[in-house]
Structure 1
Amino acid sequence: MEARPFQRIIVVIILVNAATIGAETSSVLTAHIGGFLHAVDRITLAVFAMELGLRVYAYRGAFFRDPWNHFDTVIVAVALVPAAGSVSVLRALRILRVLRLVSAVPSMRRVVSALLEAIPGMVSIIGLLVLVMYVSGVLATELFGRIAPGYFAELPVSLFTLFQMMTGDAWSDITRQVMAERPWAWVFFVGYILTSTFVVLNLFIAVVVNAMDEQSTSSEEQHTDGQLATMLAELARLHVKIDAIRAAQTRATGSCGDHPDGRRTSTPTSPHPDA
């Protein structure tokens, strides 16, 4: 199950299944090769279910201690639910099988693990961003609600507009419309964009990069520890062999002597005191 060729086959099957699911969204392809696409989809689903069953059989109880196995089980279970009637929306969830690439590719697993480890730090940054947007939303509603009601009429509308400006979408059009009535409004908008986009959002990047760096360092340390353990085990085996060779040489030296002509002879035993 852990052999590299087997893992590569699973990755190829996942990619083929993703391609067939995407092809089924085309009415032209469905009309010509719809039956073939459905057959490939069923076969790949059967392969996923069999592979999951083999992993359960191979790992026994250890299978349920790995969170990635839970992830794969949920994806396969959702795909096995009959997509008919009130649950027909589950048919669209078949594309979730592509997410199995995350668990099948070790590098993707490391990236996701780093993102999960960065969540605690990101929560604090999200709280700071929400605070900045809320204060700015209230100010924008009070200052520019009458000038640009389409953007700042009420607090929810203002919050959405500020979020749009934070992403850099049409922020210049919004600011110019407001500045036509309030020329000093650029002070508010420039300060908000600098704070939200160039400061707070960059903190997200810093936290994620730090978490990925720690994850990479941890992986390298684990790899180094594994190599060191292998080397120590090999050295221990060599030490045992050397001790065995030395013991054999000692026994041979104690039981045999050198003959003057080079032949090996038995060492004479001491006579008995009573002889």
Structure 2
Amino acid sequence: MQASTLQSKFIKIRSNKMFELVVIAVIIFSALLVGAKTYEMSDTLISVATFLDWFITIFFLTEITIRFIAEPRKIDFFKNFWNMFDTVIVFVSLIPADDTDMAIIARLVRVFRVLRMISIIPELRMLLTSLIKALPQLGYVMLLMFIIFYIYAAIGSTLFENINPVLWGDITVSMLTLFRVMTFEDWTDVMYETMEVYPLSWIFYLTFIFLSAFAFLNMVIGIVVNVMEQENEKARKELSEERGEPTIIDLSDQLKSIQLQLTELTEAQNKTK
């Protein structure tokens, strides 16, 4: 009975919005502390920073413990990827960040604490999930973009190698130059240099920019937005099911059922006539 009461208290703490805001504030403060350590500090400030670092680690350890105890089925806690991620970050943060062989790992893990913001804020989790689910479709777009890069790099290396070997010396360097063109980093300087020898070379650059910077970039954005919309719809459906509210699919099925009943009634009336 006491264990059940204790668990219910931890569930209330975990679900409390103020508790979530405090956790987010500590995560942000932890990120700022990591940034502050990159500056030169006096011995006093170093001591204060070390104390704050251990305070943050203990706070995160306490927070993870609260979430674990509040879980009704403990095994489900470890089935959640974000719970596992948070647990690993917190426990590796317990490594002392002093002049030991593991110090560099401890410092790097403290930098990754800011990623815990994703596990705390549902909207960020949805964004990351959408991006991961879009990767298979993005892979085909990236493959097509690589093919375009390769073709244009081969053409550029063949035509412009004698003009500027630094930019067009071989196909790999040419692909780096094309990446510079795609990102609009002083691309006109590259174009004007080749136009002095090949006046129509502007066609090469403009067609490449149209394909890479405009067409493919919009394809990537479209894929990500489409997946995000699917995830939002899925989240809204799950929320409606939790609240017991009818979803659009349920309403559609009900409407089809009503239309079918009306059709049957109409046919029955026509037969009686």
Same fold (TM over 0.5): yes
- Structure 1 residues 141 and 101 mapped into 2: Cα distance closer, same or farther (>3 Å)? same
Question: Offset of 1:32 from its aligned partner?
Answer: 5.5
Which of 38, 59, 68 matches 1:25?
38
Match of 1:260 in 2: none
Native 8 Å contact 1:63 1:69 kept in 2: yes
Unpaired stretches in structure 2, ≥5 consecutive residues? 1-13, 247-273
Query: What per-residue deviation string (whole Å, max 9, x for no partner) do you get for residues 219-263 of structure 1?
Result: 112222222269xxxxxxxxxxxxxxxxxxxxxxxxxxxxxxxxx
Question: Offset of 1:31 from its aligned partner?
Answer: 5.4
SS state of the match for residue 185, structure 2? coil
Question: Offset of 1:98 from its aligned partner?
Answer: 0.6
Which of 39, 56, 59 matches 1:47?
59
SS state of the match for residue 177, structure 2? helix
Question: Offset of 1:88 from its aligned partner?
Answer: 3.5
Which of 80, 94, 105 matches 2:94?
80
- Structure 1 residues 76 and 190 mapped into 2: Cα distance closer, same or farther (>3 Å)? same
Which of 199, 219, 223 matches 1:207?
223
**Runs of at least 4 residues off by over 3 Å:** 29-32, 81-88
Native 8 Å contact 2:95 2:103 kept in 1: no
Which of 66, 69, 84 matches 2:83?
69
Query: What per-residue deviation string (whole Å, max 9, x for no partner) do you get for residues 112-165 of structure 1?
Result: 111111111111111111111111111111111111111110111111111111
Q: Distance in 2 between matches of 1:77 and 1:153?
A: 50
Q: Distance in 2 between matches of 1:155 and 1:78?
A: 44
Q: Distance in 2 between matches of 1:22 and 1:77?
A: 21
Question: Offset of 1:77 from its aligned partner?
Answer: 3.6
Question: Offset of 1:53 from its aligned partner?
Answer: 2.9
Calculate the aligned-residue CA RMSD, in Å.
1.9
SS state of the match for residue 62, structure 1? helix
Question: Offset of 1:34 from its aligned partner?
Answer: 2.2
Unpaired stretches in structure 1, ≥5 consecutive residues? 231-275
TM-score between the two structures when normalised by the length of structure 1? 0.78
Which of 203, 217, 220 matches 1:187?
203
Which of 68, 81, 85 matches 1:56?
68
Match of 2:213 in 1: 197
Which of 166, 172, 177 matches 1:150?
166
Q: Please identify the structure whose Cα radius of gyration is greater.
A: 1
Match of 1:5 in 2: 18
Which of 125, 128, 132 matches 2:144?
128
Q: Distance in 2 between matches of 1:87 and 1:135?
A: 46
Matched, 1:177 2:206: no
